[in-house]
Amino acid sequence: MLDVSDLAVSFGEQSVVSGVDFTVDRGSLVGLVGPNGAGKTTVLRALKGTLDPDTGTVRVDGDPIREKSAKAVSRLVASTPQGTALSFDFSVRQTVEMGRTPHLGRFDRMGEDDQRAVERAMERASVAEFADRPFTSLSGGERQRVLLARALAQETPVLLLDEPTASLDINHAVRTLELVRTLVDDGKTAVAAIHDLNLAARYCDELVLLAGGRVRAAGRPADVLTSDTLRDAFDAETLVTTQPGTDAPLVTPLSERESVARRVHVIGTGTPAAAAVSKLAGAGCQVSIGVVPAGDTAAERAADLDCEAVTVPTFAGIDDAARERAADLAAAADAVVIAGETGDGNRPVIEAGNACLAVESGGSGHASGALDTVPLAGLSEAVASLPSATERDAARPLDQSATD
């Protein structure tokens, strides 16, 4: 439906985007993501034909957009801007009615079809309840929804949205994207610049990651949003997991000071262990876990985070091979962390570990009262404060290591 090839745009001497190629299939929702100043808005403006690219073409339905009249384009492509310069007091209804312009001749009046389209658009964007208020009296989020309603009233096959959720509360942000999703499922094609990676991942069929004026990655959200690409594009450390209830990736930014370069083995099951794994992996630790039943939340979390997990089939009991492997991991780790229910079979694994910490839990009854307990929030700091395995080995007297 939309085809961008070798697009380059510069403002004066400043090159904004170059060599941008991507296609948007009919009936799909594509998210444009990327850091501030990556050229998302510029690409959208090129898509709606309001700027002259230095090179490259944008095709809508096979035809170059620059060869079409504004009117022809406006019947194919509707867009919502990030904001609007509207400073005269049009009512919400009048503003939405302007979306019908592409369908009206110079001397035409709004017909019944047009009125219906306006009503439906206002209904869908949930702005009908303030249809008669002046646009200038609305809040930023309400204005954004009015602009969406205006674009919907245009009734075009293609919808371009520039930060449609930027100033929306969480309820309206989700409702807006659900609405766009529904429209796309009904056959529209949409491209949205979205700065919230998780919302983008959850609602878009495909993502195009722009950084430094180029396409860094494009494809399914799970393929685009990886720690490596995000580090490359945003220059930031992130933790990529899975959004609960979907298979969309969940990106959690990490602050740099948290990065703890330690090797940690986690023993435990269930949510507490899963939380410990996330926390530690998020802090930059190299995490392993086990022995844990396959299918346990903690095992799944470890798999999401590319952490090594020693698993055994559920209810099968711990076999020797698994126990040995886990014990090796524990012995090699800088620290062993116990979180949640461990099971008696894991006792040799715990004993194989050097420095042991337990995560505070609301009265879970595992028998390691002698261990240091730390709250989950302070877990990575506690691990960081322990000496590393190499430091410990260096400090340990030779004879003692021989008797081990």
Give the binding site for other proteins (CB under 8 A).
45, 48-50, 69-71, 73-75, 77-79, 81, 84-90, 94-95, 98-99, 101-102, 104, 106-107, 109, 154
- Separation of alpha carbons 383 and 386, rounded Å: 5
Query: Contact, 365 vs 344, CB < 8 A?
Result: no
Closest CB to other proteins among residues 74, 288: 74
**Shortest distance in whole angstroms from residue 65 CB to other proteins:** 11
- Separation of alpha carbons 121 and 103, rounded Å: 15
**Shortest distance in whole angstroms from residue 110 CB to other proteins:** 8
**Shortest distance in whole angstroms from residue 48 CB to other proteins:** 5
Closest CB to other proteins among residues 75, 220: 75
Provide the edge-to-edge strand list for the sheet that holds 206-211. Answer: 77-80, 158-162, 189-193, 29-33, 206-211, 214-219
Tokens describing residue 329: 């991991």
Tokens describing residue 372: 């240091």
**Shortest distance in whole angstroms from residue 137 CB to other proteins:** 12
Tokens describing residue 4: 């961008």
The 3-state DSSP class for residue 272 equals helix
**Shortest distance in whole angstroms from residue 106 CB to other proteins:** 6
**Shortest distance in whole angstroms from residue 25 CB to other proteins:** 22
Q: Other CB atoms closer than 10 Å to residue 222's CB: what's the count?
A: 14
The 3-state DSSP class for residue 23 equals strand
Closest CB to other proteins among residues 71, 231: 71
Strand pairing partners for 264?
Answer: 287, 335
